Amino acid sequence: MSTTHNTDSMAVYMRDIARYKLLTAEEEIELSKRVHDGDDNARQHMIQTNLRLVVKISRRYLNRGLALADLIEEGNLGLMRAVEKFDAIHGCRFSTYATWWIRQAIERAIMNQSRTIRVPVHVAKELNSVLKHANQLRTLLGREPTEDEIADAIGIPVERVQTLIRTTVTTESADALQYGSDSISIYEVTADEQADAPGDRMETDCRNDMLEQWMEKLTEQEREVVRMRYGLGGFGEVQTLEMIGQHMNVTRERIRQIQVKALKKLRLIVKRDDISLEEIL
C-alpha cells in the first residue's frame, strides 16, 4: 500500500472521528451504567467519542517500530477493554481510566514488534522492564519520566536505558533522535491541545487521591524518599539521591536502595489493587 494511500486513509479516519463530541462527566456515568447492563449502543458510543484520545496517545509512540495506523489499531483495542471495565462510581473521568489501557495495548504491541525484528530474548526482557518502570513512574509523577529517573528506579546505568530504547527505533529515524541525560522524555510527546481543559484538574486530583492511598502503605521513610525524589507532597522540586542522603544523614546508595524498595512495594500494591491502578492512569 502506497504512502499516499495511507496518508489519505488516515485523513479520512481523522475526519470521521472528529464528528463525535466529547462526553460530559454525567454522560460518562449514564453510558457506563448502560454498558454494564449490556447495552451495545452505549458501548459503541463510548468507544466512538474517545477515538481521538487513542490518536493523541498513539502519536507519542511514533518512531518505535510501528506505523501510526498500527499504533491506533492497537490503542483502540485497549480503549474497548477500558469501556468494558470502567466504573464511574469511583469518581475518575473515563479518559484518566482509559489511558492506562490504551498505553498498555500499544506497548505490548511494540514489545511484540521488537521480537519480530529479532531482538535477543534477554534484551526484550530488559526493554520490558524499562517500559514497566516507565509506566509506574508515569503513574507516580503524572508526567513522562526522564531516562535518568527510569535508570534510578531499575538500578541500571542511564546509558543502558538509552540503548534499550534505541532497539525499538527504526534505522531510518534513529539518526534523527538524540538521547541524553537531560532529555525530557523517552517518548516523542506531541502538543496536547486540551492540556488546560477544565477536566484536567479533576483528573489530576483523582490521580493524586489514589496515589496518596498507595503511599500510606509505605513506611514513613519510604514515603519521604519517594516524595523528595519525585517532588511530590509539597516538596516541589525533584531532589537528587545525594541531596536526600544529606537530608537524612545516610549515603546516596542507601537512599537508592530505599527508593527501589519503595517502588517495588508500590508496583505490588498497584498490581493487587487493579481498579485503582486503572483509574489513576
Q: What is the pTM of this model?
A: 0.52
Instruction: Give the fold, CATH level 3, of 16-107.
Output: Four Helix Bundle (Hemerythrin (Met), subunit A) (1.20.120)
pLDDT on residue 191? 27
Contact 232, 224 (CB under 8 A): no
Give the Cα separation of 129 and 127 in Å (integer): 5
Residue 86 DSSP class = -
Q: Could you tell me the residue ranges of all domains in the chain?
A: 16-107, 119-181, 198-281
Instruction: Give the fold, CATH level 3, of 198-281.
Output: Arc Repressor Mutant, subunit A (1.10.10)
Q: Do domains 119-181 and 198-281 have the same CATH topology?
A: yes
* pLDDT, tens only, 55-107: 999 998 888 888 999 999 999 999 999 999 887 656 678 888 888 889 888 98
Instruction: Give the fold, CATH level 3, of 119-181.
Output: Arc Repressor Mutant, subunit A (1.10.10)
* pLDDT, tens only, 108-164: 888 777 555 555 667 777 887 888 788 778 777 777 888 888 888 888 898 998 888
Radius of gyration (C-alpha) of the chain in whole angstroms: 20
Contact 136, 270 (CB under 8 A): yes
pLDDT on residue 250? 95
CA atoms within 13 A on the CB side of 212: 8
